[in-house]
Amino acid sequence: MLDVRKMALLRELARLGTIAAVAEAQFCTPSAVSQQLSGLEREAGVQLVRRSGRGVALTAAGADLASRTEGVLALLEEAAAALAAARTELSGELKIGAFPTAVRTLLPTALVELGAAYPHLELHVTELDPAQVPDALRAGLLDIALVHSYDYVPAKPDPALTTTPLLTEPMYLASAAALAVSAGAGDADPILAGRDQPWIVGSPETLCHLMAVRLCQAAGFTPRIRHYADDFAAVLTLVAAGQGVAVVPELALADCPAGVALAVLPASRRTFIARRRGAERNPANVACEEALRTAAASQPWRS
């Protein structure tokens, strides 16, 4: 019998291409991945992975098994969801992932609702960038998570995951009030008011960083980046201090200090609920989704 956990590693090797990348995505060591793949080959009785230069490649048999693994894992998730639904009480762990602004604004309300309705459900929240969510879900470190995409940074479909829309937020150009007045309001695109200003953006490789840079490039310029900050509360504090301009979503404005001027941008941030394929009907995930929708609907700016 083939070990499904080892099959999942083979699937990741087909997706990512290197043992090192699989180890990073699965939060383990390369040697552990290699050992598991060797064990899978012994179980299969055929070679699944071969050396290719300094790296590895899947054999025809390995590629075939990897392509079948996605469906196997989805069926197991469906089976686990059916078993969970047969229980009389919702209990056990529920591992939730969310980006920082959602942790501050959506999660508290949702967690209170879940805790009151299901006192035996043990809730664990991890704050992380949406770019890290797919790997964490695939590795089983999360059960359900919030991710987002921007108009200029669309999300790539992931065959291992399913997503459903939760929330759409407007985006703003944030600047110090004095700067906003001096920049004027004559530009058709508000982003152009910041073309000659220093910028505050997220760390490289984050979605927030890509959004700000691509939004500026679409307006015809490359931003002159002065500061990197991933916490929007810190970003807005720097903006208020006159350290630069920044692109911020609506949920970030819960921490907006005095002295910040906001101009609506022709762009949106869309938040989605993500789960492993097959786990959509898991009762804990369903309960969490309902609580998240209640929290999203109760946001003051949506009324």
**Sequence spans of domains, the chain:** 4-84, 89-167+271-302, 169-267
128-150: average pLDDT: 92
Question: Domain 89-167+271-302 is of which CATH architecture?
Answer: 3-Layer(aba) Sandwich (3.40)
Look at residue 302 in the predicted model and tell me its pLDDT: 74
Q: CA-CA distance, 50 to 61, in Å (whole number)? A: 11
* CATH number for the domain running over 4-84: 1.10.10.10
Q: In 3D, which of 15, 154, 11, 6 has the Cα closest to residue 71?
A: 11
- Please tell me if the domain spanning 4-84 has the same topology as the one spanning 169-267: no
**Residue 195 contacts by C-beta under 8 Å, 6 or more apart in sequence?**
216, 219, 220, 221
* CATH number for the domain running over 169-267: 3.40.190.10
Q: Give the pLDDT band (50/70/90) at residue 184.
A: very low
Q: Which two tokens stand for residue 261?
A: 């001027």
Look at residue 193 in the predicted model and tell me its pLDDT: 83
**Residue 73 contacts by C-beta under 8 Å, 6 or more apart in sequence?**
4, 7, 8, 11, 160, 276, 277, 278
Which of 58-62, 253-257, 270-274 is the least confident region? Answer: 253-257
Task: Give percent of the chain above pLDDT 70.
Answer: 96
Q: Give the pLDDT band (50/70/90) at residue 238.
A: very high
Look at residue 26 in the predicted model and tell me its pLDDT: 87
pTM, to two decimals: 0.86
Task: Give percent of the chain above pLDDT 90.
Answer: 78
Look at residue 185 in the predicted model and tell me its pLDDT: 46
Q: Give the pLDDT band (50/70/90) at residue 179.
A: low
